[in-house]
Structure 1
Amino acid sequence: MSVVIDTNVAVVANGKHEVASDDCIERCIDALIAAQQGVVLVDDGFLIFDEYQRHLSHAGQPGVGDAFFKWLWSNQANPSHCRQVEITPIDPAGRVFQEFPDDPDLEKFDRDDRKFVAVALASGETPDILNASDTDWWTFRESLTRYGIQTQFLCQELMAD
């Protein structure tokens, strides 16, 4: 099983989301633990790692999200647990990607989250993208599904209709 994990999952697992319930936090913790039994997909340009680093601790403490980040960092060269997928940034900021669908319905999808979609599409697999609290994934779920993107909403109660 391969997954792509939006940073917000680890942040919620750390208890750093102001409205996430205990159940939501527990689902994020469980998802991160389960992900360690499979393969986590990241990009080869370290854009995902850079984002994780801005929000999580390399020390692996004090939260489960931090522990996950330390585990992933330690296993980045272990293909049994981490696979770096080549994606092609087409802007200097690394927020627009050749692999991201050129679709007017996705024009307003968060540019910071496009790297996760690009990794999923470029992977040659059909990984779930794990999301806890980012409503953009919910808003654009139907458009993303047309391209084979499956988002697992760990805290659906945080999504707005």
Structure 2
Amino acid sequence: MDTNVAAKAATPIKECKEEELDLQQECMAFIKRFVDNPDSKLVLDADYEISKEYRNRISMNTTVGRIFWRWFNLYLKRIAAVDFVKLEKDTAGNYIMFPMEKRTKEFDSSDRKFIALARTHFEHPPIIEAADAKWLGYKDVFEEYGVHIEFLDMEYAEMMYARKILNKSDHAV
């Protein structure tokens, strides 16, 4: 699960833009289903990069944030060894399992850990995505590498992708 799913769910409603309210509701519903399902699991990296990102970005000041953190902290105590994965890096600090090629070289370096993790884990779990529309432009490429990205609100993702990515490239000189 990309950080923005729980982060958006835990954002106080008064801090959400009007166009994000439906997305936030989707994220809140997903987190509620996720923590209520005893079979839910997260695949995490053994160097705690994802856990640290969660800690820095997911608020504990809302009900949903507290619910997520209660679940997460209990989950860390029982996580299966196979779901706690070491991500190998090269000498430059790049994830070996991130498919570095011409089509992916511009992909956000801070999000590469999620792709590497999905490729490294034996089940190749999907990445649940919420608000980061730029992932939409890489969805098909990553599918070729066995990484599946599931958007909680595809309509929102497409709108933001058009606004931030497509419009930006239309104005490039």
Classify the TM-score, shorter chain: 0.7 to 0.9
Alignment of 1:142-161 (within 5 A): 142-159=140-157, 160-161=161-162
Following superposition, the deviation at residue 86 of structure 1 comes to: 1.5
Aligned positions of 1:1-161 closer than 5 A = 5-15=1-11, 17-18=16-17, 20-36=19-35, 37=37, 38-57=40-59, 60-79=60-79, 83-90=83-90, 96-159=94-157, 160-161=161-162
How large is the Cα RMSD of the aligned pairs?
2.2
TM-aligned CA distance change 1:20 to 1:55, over 3 Å: farther
Q: Closer, same or farther in 2 for the Cα pair 1:122/1:133, shift >3 Å?
A: same
In structure 1, the residue corresponding to 2:23 is in which secondary structure? helix
Structure with the higher strand share, 1 or 2: 1
TM-score, length of structure 1 as denominator length:
0.82
After superposition, the Cα gap between the structure-2 partners of 1:49 and 1:91, relative to the gap in structure 1 and judged at 3 Å, is farther
Q: Counterpart of 2:90 in structure 1: which amino acid? A: I
Aligned residue for 2:171? none
Residue 143 of structure 1 and its aligned partner are, at CA, apart by 0.6
Retained in 2: the 8 A contact 1:87–1:97?
Answer: yes
2-structure distance, mates of 1:154, 1:55: 19
In 2 relative to 1, CA 97–31 (structure 1 residues): closer, same or farther, beyond 3 Å?
A: same
- 5+ long unaligned stretches in structure 1: none
TM-score (norm 2): 0.77
Q: Contact 1:52/1:69 (CA < 8 Å) preserved in 2?
A: no
Q: Could you say which structure has the larger radius of gyration?
A: 2
Q: Give the length in aligned residue pairs.
A: 152
Counterparts of 2:19 and 2:91, CA distance in 1: 34
Determine what percentage of the aligned residue pairs are the same residue: 26
Do the aligned partners of residues 84 and 76 (structure 1) sit closer, same or farther apart at CA in structure 2, a change above 3 Å counting?
A: same
Counterpart Cα distance in 2 of 1:43 and 1:109: 19
Q: C-alpha separation between the residues in 2 aligned to 1:135 and 1:85? A: 26
After superposition, give the CA deviation of every residue in 1:42-84 in whole Å (9 maximum; x if it has no partner): 1110000110111124xx442414431332122113136x921
What CA distance in whole angstroms lies between the structure 1 residues aligned with 2:76 and 2:22? Answer: 29
**Cα displacement (A) at 1:91:** 5.8
